[in-house]
Amino acid sequence: MRTLLIALGILLATAASATTYKWVDRNGVTHYSDRPQPGAEIVELRPAQTFDAPTPATSSARTAPRNQQANNAVTYAKLDLWKPSNDEVFQNTANTVPVRLRLEPDLQAGHAVWLYLDGKRVDGQPTTAVSFDLTEVPRGTHTVNAVVVDVTGKPLIKSQSVTFHLRQVSTLAPNRAPRPVRP
Helix or strand run (H / E) with residue 140: strand 140-149
Average pLDDT over residues 21-41: 88
> Phi first, then psi: what are they for 168, rounded to 5°?
-120, 145
pLDDT tens-digit readout, 160-177: 999 999 887 666 655 555
Do the strands 155-158 and 140-149 form a parallel or antiparallel pair, or are they unpaired?
antiparallel
Q: How do residues 82-135 score in pLDDT, each as one tens digit?
A: 899 999 998 877 888 999 999 999 999 899 999 999 999 998 888 898 999 998
Q: Identify each DSSP E strand in 16-139 by its residue range.
A: 20-24, 30-33, 41-43, 78-83, 88-91, 97-104, 112-117, 120-121, 131-134
Residue 30 has pLDDT above 60, yes or no: yes
Query: Would you call the peptide bond into 180 cis, given omega within 30 degrees of 0 as the criterion?
Result: no
Check residue 70 and give its pLDDT.
43
Q: What distance lies between CA 63 and its chain's CA centroid?
A: 24
Task: Considering only residues 165 and 13, tell me which one the structure prediction assigns the higher pLDDT.
Answer: 165
In contact, 135 and 59? CB cutoff 8 Å: no
86 CB contacts (<8 Å, ≥6 apart)? 162, 163, 164
- Annotated domain spans of the chain: 2-43, 71-167
Q: What are the residue ranges of helices labelled H in the chain?
A: 2-14, 60-63, 66-73
pLDDT of 20 > 90? The answer is no
Supply the pLDDT for residue 12: 60
Instruction: Give residue 71's pLDDT.
Output: 46
Q: How confident is the model over 51-64, as pLDDT tens digits?
A: 777 776 654 444 44
The predicted model scores a pTM of 0.54
Give the list of residues 6+ apart from residue 148 with CB closer than 8 angstroms, or none.
76, 79, 103, 107, 111, 112, 113, 114, 155, 156, 157, 158
Architecture in CATH for domain 71-167: Sandwich (2.60)
Mean pLDDT within 23-40 = 88
Average of per-residue pLDDT values in the chain: 80
